[in-house]
Amino acid sequence: MSRFGKVISSPRFNIALFVVAALLLLASVVGGTQAALSYYSDTYLARLAASDIGVTLVENDQKVAWRDYEGGNSWNERTWTRDGQENSAELLSNLLPQGETFQVGREYAENLAVQNTGTITQYVRVSLLKYWEDADGNKVNTVSPDLIRLGLNTERMADGSAWLLDEDSSTKERTVLYYNRPLASGETTHDFCKTVSVDGSIASKVTQTEQKNADGTTTITTTYDYNGLRFCLEANVYAVQEHNVVDAIHSAWGRNMTISDGTLSLG
């Protein structure tokens, strides 16, 4: 994706469609130093209505990244760049207590939610991608993304709100969630994620090599498969306005939904 907004035509719907893609890069060798987040956002706009639209990623009750449409070609945003720009968003920066290193098998609190920072009611969707990279930023397929554990929250709240897990669209690497209620301007969803961890079983995934020595002995070297790797999490937050929401979701995301009294269900 380009780092810049693109305008696309929408012949069927006069809707406002807003997408924020946040790359949450936990750039930490497992068992190594404290992690840093990278945040990346793109915007795709259909014919915009007069009302403003915007969305914000919230971590532990703190706004960490956002992009809000202000009219014309103007945006209020806090986005990510790899060059260390001052306005770079950060996530997981307080994941570890000072002086501690990341431990596999341990759950760390990571409460993630979405806030409607526009001026119109919206429906929101989240897509989470998890995978491994080597030190050069190359994707590694030999270590399973299943070892990256997210404490998802799909329980139905007392007010009937819930994050719906779209199992048909989800894989080992990608998790897709829909918030079942319309999100009013200024309103924040309950958390869709509570914790993050790396499965402790990764410590048993090793490679052993044997070397014959001149004196007839054998040296066996054991190497952890995750050495030099980092685990990555991408959180993509999408929003559409509530008008004709079923058609809008199908057009934008290719997903059939049903709606009753404003509440979405997976169709």
pLDDT digits 0-9 by tens, 169-187: 999 999 999 999 999 999 9
Cβ burial of 9 (10 Å; 0-12, 13-18, 19+) is: exposed
pLDDT (0 to 100) of residue 7: 28
Residue 4's Cβ-count burial label (10 Å; 0-12, 13-18, 19+) is: exposed
Residue 15: pLDDT above 70?
Answer: no
pLDDT score of 85: 52
- Range name among 121-135, 215-229, 252-266 with the lowest pLDDT average: 215-229
Is a pLDDT exceeding 80 seen at residue 145?
Answer: yes
pLDDT of 79? 62
* Predicted local distance difference test score (pLDDT) of residue 60: 85
State the pLDDT at residue 87: 54
The pTM assigned to this predicted structure is: 0.75
Confidence of residue 88 (pLDDT cuts 50, 70, 90): low
- Closest by CA to 4, choosing from 19, 17, 14, is 19
How far apart are alpha carbons 242 and 60 in whole angstroms? Answer: 27
Nearest alpha-carbon partner for 186 in 63, 13, 101:
63
Nearest to 67 by CA among 3, 163, 162: 3
Q: What percent of the chain has pLDDT over 70?
A: 75
Mean pLDDT of 235-239: 80
CA distance 238 to 259: 18
* Confidence at 114, pLDDT banded by 50, 70, 90: very high
| Highest averaged pLDDT of the listed ranges 26-30, 83-87, 101-105, 254-258 | 254-258
**Would you say residue 58 has pLDDT above 70?**
yes
Examine the pLDDT at 202 and tell me if it is beyond 90.
no
C-alpha–C-alpha distance, residues 233 and 22, integer Å = 9
CA distance 235 to 251: 21
Q: What is the mean pLDDT of residues 142-155?
A: 93
**CA pseudo-torsion sign 174, 93, 36, 23:** positive
What's phi and psi for 144, nearest 5 deg? -70, 140
Pairing of strands 108-116, 54-59: antiparallel
